[in-house]
Amino acid sequence: MDKNKISEFFIEKGLFITAILSIIFIFLIISFILLEGLPAFEDYGFFNLLFGFEWAPTDGDFGVFPMIIGSIFVTLLSLLMAVPLSLLCAIFMAEVAPNKVRKVLKPVIETLSGIPSVVYGFFGLIVLVPIIRENFGGTGFSMFTASLILAVMILPTIITISQDSLRNVPHEYREASLGLGATQWQTIRRIIFPAALPGIITAIILGMGRAIGETLAVIMVAGNVVQIPNSIFDPVRTLTSNIAIEMGYATGLHYNALFATAIVLFLIIILLLLIANYIQHKYKVDIGGGSL
């Protein structure tokens, strides 16, 4: 009996250690990125780096502002394309579609989310870039092409999570509305959609996080010119692209500046998470349907 108690004790402590490891890893990741990135902020100046327009590592210029704009624009444009389609598809799957159709759509969406991002980028490079070049001019490597690819990549994220929150809306809501003589579309628009809104917003924010963090697929189609784009058919460079393109040969302060780029990316993502948390808390009280 005593032996059992001792081993139970050690098992519990061991499991506790595995549980706190994810916190330790976060801590390690953040400290190593900060350790390597802060020297660039110190040397070049926090505001110069954040709001500088010039990125010319050979001349010692490390302004990432065009890349911040690039990341934000590409992400917003991809959301603009992905959100309407994925919400319609989520509502279709959760509320309208018969079971048979749902059974076809579910694996389709799982497969879409399983395709490696490099394959999406490759598809964009081979298929979309020439199409855009022929129809809209320029090189075809553009903010628009990148957003299009990102939109496809974030579809499954937004569909899956918003579908879950639509399904979590209590049945009574639906029945009461239909019982009052509302049509199905009226019920969806006035009752179910508003009730599922917190979860849907979470879904959009998670999709946004995936879009802003995507690297190689964007590099392959965005053109990667460091500039503030004038039109959506201009090439752009995002924060993530900047790191991946130049890390291979960066040394000295340039190396640190790329880690600083990652810190900027981090700050933007933390901001997004805070907004997501705030929105969830604001809406959560009265419904409780918005899981995640």
Partner 1 sequence: MSIKLLSPKISQKIMNAVFILSGIITILILVLILGYILIKGLPAVNLEFIFGNPIDSGKSGGIFPMIISSIYVTIIAGIVATPLGVGAAVYMSEYSGENKITKLIRFGAETLASIPSIVFGLFGLSFFVIFLGFGWSILSGGLVLALMALPTIFQVAEVTISSIPSSYREGSYGLGATKWQTIYRVVLPAAIPGIVTGIILGMTRAISEAAAVMFAVGSSLSMPLSIFDPGRPLPLHLYVLATEGISLDNAYGTAAVLVIFVLAITIISNYIVDRYQDKIMGR
**Least separation, in Å, of the C-beta of 180 and partner 1?**
12
Token pair recorded at residue 198: 């917190």
State which residue, 159 or 203, has the beta carbon closest to partner 1: 159
Which of these ranges, 72-80, 103-111, 135-143, 170-178, lies near partner 1 under the rule CB under 8 A?
A: 103-111
State which residue, 155 or 191, has the beta carbon closest to partner 1: 155
Q: Which residue type, as a one-letter code, is found at position 171?
A: H
User: Among 74, 236, 265, 287, which residue interacts with partner 1 (rule: CB under 8 A)?
Assistant: 265
28, 21, 27, 61: which is closest to 45 by C-alpha?
Answer: 61
Binding string, 243-262, against partner 1, x = CB under 8 A? xx--xx---------xx--x
Report the length, in residues, of the chain: 292
Q: Which residues of 253-272 are buried (b: 16+ CB within 10 A; e: fewer)?
A: bbbbbbbbbbbbbbebeeeb
State which residue, 226 or 262, has the beta carbon closest to partner 1: 262
SS3 178: helix
Binding string, 182-201, against partner 1, x = CB under 8 A? xxxxx-x-------------
Residues 50-89 that bind partner 1 (CB under 8 A): 85, 88-89
State which residue, 84 or 231, has the beta carbon closest to partner 1: 84
Chain center to CA of 22: 21
User: Among 36, 43, 61, 246, which residue interacts with partner 1 (rule: CB under 8 A)?
Assistant: 36
Burial of 68 (0-12, 13-18, 19+ CB in 10 A): buried
State which residue, 80 or 273, has the beta carbon closest to partner 1: 273
Strands (E), the chain: 55-56, 61-62
Token pair recorded at residue 225: 């010119």
52, 70, 4: which is closest to 257 by C-alpha?
Answer: 52
User: Among 152, 154, 158, 166, which residue interacts with partner 1 (rule: CB under 8 A)?
Assistant: 152
Which of these ranges, 57-65, 167-175, 177-185, 194-202, lies near partner 1 under the rule CB under 8 A?
A: 177-185
Burial of 228 (0-12, 13-18, 19+ CB in 10 A): middle
State which residue, 22 or 230, has the beta carbon closest to partner 1: 22
Q: Are 49 and 39 in contact (CB under 8 A)?
A: no
200, 221, 91, 93: which is closest to 153 by C-alpha?
Answer: 221
State which residue, 6 or 285, has the beta carbon closest to partner 1: 6
| Backbone torsions φ then ψ of 104, nearest 5 degrees | -80, -40
Binding string, 1-30, against partner 1, x = CB under 8 A? ---x--xx--xx-xxx-xxxxxx-xx-xx-
122 forms part of the interface with partner 1 (CB under 8 A): yes
Q: Which residue type, as a one-letter code, is found at position 270?
A: I
User: Among 39, 45, 138, 213, which residue interacts with partner 1 (rule: CB under 8 A)?
Assistant: 213
User: Among 40, 83, 154, 159, which residue interacts with partner 1 (rule: CB under 8 A)?
Assistant: 159
166 forms part of the interface with partner 1 (CB under 8 A): no
140 forms part of the interface with partner 1 (CB under 8 A): no
**Least separation, in Å, of the C-beta of 283 and partner 1?**
19
